[in-house]
Structure 1
Amino acid sequence: MTSSYRVVETGVTEAGLSTITRDNLVPVRPVPGGRGLGRLWEADGVLSGADAANSGADAGKSPADSGTPFPTAGGVRFWTVTVPPEDPDAPPSAFHHTPTLDLGLVLSGQIVLEMEDGTAAELSAGQVFAQQSTPHRWRNPHPVDAVVAVVMLGWGR
């Protein structure tokens, strides 16, 4: 599993020139279920015309540091999720639901997206999903970690 990601953020100086405002390493932290979470960039209110100068300030914090980890309406989260191989003797994880539009790209490995009605899609490296605030669960029935990059957009559905 990758231990950290380098995140470079840009902005604008008082003189109106583009600049690099931040260049740091964001750790991948373990979360329940053996998964790894890289919280690369986070901001709330940026999609609704909020002050972009304050965006990204929550990047790299753990879920306990910033209240709810999911974006509010107009908010954005850019994460990586590492899903280890599942234990064939363990029961499947429960379905969960987030009030977000999730756009994801499988970076490595393979992962299975399962829906409540029994439909499923197996996604491999280079394949994309758009998940529209629906109950779902992820599985990794393969022998290697799967890594997924996800942009979560908060909306008021």
Structure 2
Amino acid sequence: MRATATGAPEDAGKEWATRLPGLADTFKEQSHMHTTATLDYGMIVSGELWFDLDDGKSVHLHPGDVVVQQGTRHGWSNHGTVPATIVFFIVGAPLAR
């Protein structure tokens, strides 16, 4: 899936709901921030993305950058002018409570 700078958010939400059933349940209402019980490896292939963290920090990512995170509250945003592509390898990893 692609994160686009020009696509309507509601269209992206519908696409994600179709392709990834249950993902929407991980988001708080009106927020792109979410938490999943997974270990995620992501690599930016093209474009630019911002990896938004729960503490308010945002990391600007470019092609070739890699993100590894597990169970953190996070979100993705595209403030650029072109679509961005990120490839994920995601492993189920129940969160310790």
Q: What is the TM-score of this pair, normalised by structure 2?
A: 0.69
Counterpart-to-counterpart distance in 1, 2:33 and 2:54 = 7
Please, what is the CA RMSD of the aligned residues? 2.8
The aligned residue for residue 57 of structure 2 is 119
Aligned 8 A contact 2:32 2:76 in 1: no
Q: Which among 24, 34, 46 is matched to residue 12 of structure 2? A: 34
Larger Rg: 1
The aligned residue for residue 47 of structure 1 is none
Structure 2 gap ranges (5+): 3-8, 24-29
Q: Which among 31, 48, 71 is matched to residue 110 of structure 1? A: 48
What number of residue pairs does the alignment pair up? 81
Answer 1 or 2: higher relative contact order, Cα 8 Å, separation at least 6: 2
The aligned residue for residue 85 of structure 2 is 147
Q: Find runs of 4+ consecutive structure 1 residues off by over 2 angstroms.
A: 31-37, 61-64
Q: Post-superposition shift, 1:130?
A: 0.2
Q: What is the TM-score of this pair, normalised by structure 1?
A: 0.44
Structure 1 gap ranges (5+): 3-30, 38-60, 70-91
Q: Which among 71, 82, 91 is matched to residue 133 of structure 1? A: 71
* Structure with the larger strand share: 1
Q: Deviations over 1:91-124 (max 9, x none)?
A: x843111110100000000000011111121110
